[in-house]
């Protein structure tokens, strides 16, 4: 499994911290699709679409089981998730609170649920909301949470795919 990264200028500094963390400390294969330098004038759709395209292609090749994942960053993460979710089989989620990553008994865990129940394959982070340590915690928890194959979750994901097919056929 490969992890693709993409960001605009707003997430550039945080991405520069997360790429070596995911590669060197968590041991994942990483491909950094940019931005490769800080450019205040860049536009997030140009930098997020390549990540979403790679994740989409991986999901199409590997319909069952784990496939490549993406981590995208921007100021809020919202626009980045919107772009990513335009691609087939991409399920991008925004997590901007390390508290959502807490694993306490009986407490819902937003990070884990995004992977377990929704099989999210792109994590979108807002660099204006998370510091380095918080972002690393969210990323670690997200990458370490496997997608579940419980029938009720798979049924719901299939319905999302059916909606998408219907929209693209009209």
- Number of CB atoms found within 10 A of residue 116's CB: 17
Please report where in the chains the tokens 């508290």 appear, as a residue.
99
**28 annotated active-site:** no
Give the CB-side neighbour count of residue 124, counting CA atoms within 13 A: 26
Q: Which of 59, 68, 46 is nearest to 160 (CA)?
A: 59
Tell me: cis bond preceding 35? Omega within 30 of 0 counts: yes
Catalytic residue among 67, 80, 89, 134: 80
Catalytic residue among 116, 117, 148, 153: 117
Strand order in the sheet with 92-94: 29-32, 2-7, 69-74, 122-126, 92-94
**134 annotated active-site:** no
Please state, in angstroms and rounded to a whole number, the distance separating the CA atoms of residues 81 and 71: 10
- Count of residues in the chain: 170
Tokens linked to 55 = 């994740």
Mind telling me the catalytic residues? 80, 117
């Amino acid at each position: 499994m490969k992890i693709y990264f993409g960001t605009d200028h707003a997430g550039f500094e945080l991405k520069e911290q997360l790429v070596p963390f995911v590669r060197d400390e968590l041991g994942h294969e990483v491909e950094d699709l940019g931005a490769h330098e800080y450019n205040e004038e860049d536009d997030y759709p140009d930098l997020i679409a390549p990540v979403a395209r790679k994740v989409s292609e991986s999901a199409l090749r590997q319909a069952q089981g784990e496939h490549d994942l993406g981590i995208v960053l921007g100021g809020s993460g919202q626009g980045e998730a919107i772009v990513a979710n335009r691609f087939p089989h991409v399920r991008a989620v925004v997590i901007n609170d390390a508290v959502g990553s807490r694993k306490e008994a009986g407490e819902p865990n937003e990070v884990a649920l995004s992977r377990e129940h929704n099989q999210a394959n792109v994590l979108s982070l807002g660099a204006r909301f998370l510091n380095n340590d918080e972002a690393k915690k969210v990323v670690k928890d997200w990458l370490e949470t496997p997608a579940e194959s419980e029938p009720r979750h798979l049924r719901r994901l299939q319905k999302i795919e059916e909606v998408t097919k219907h929209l693209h056929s009209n």
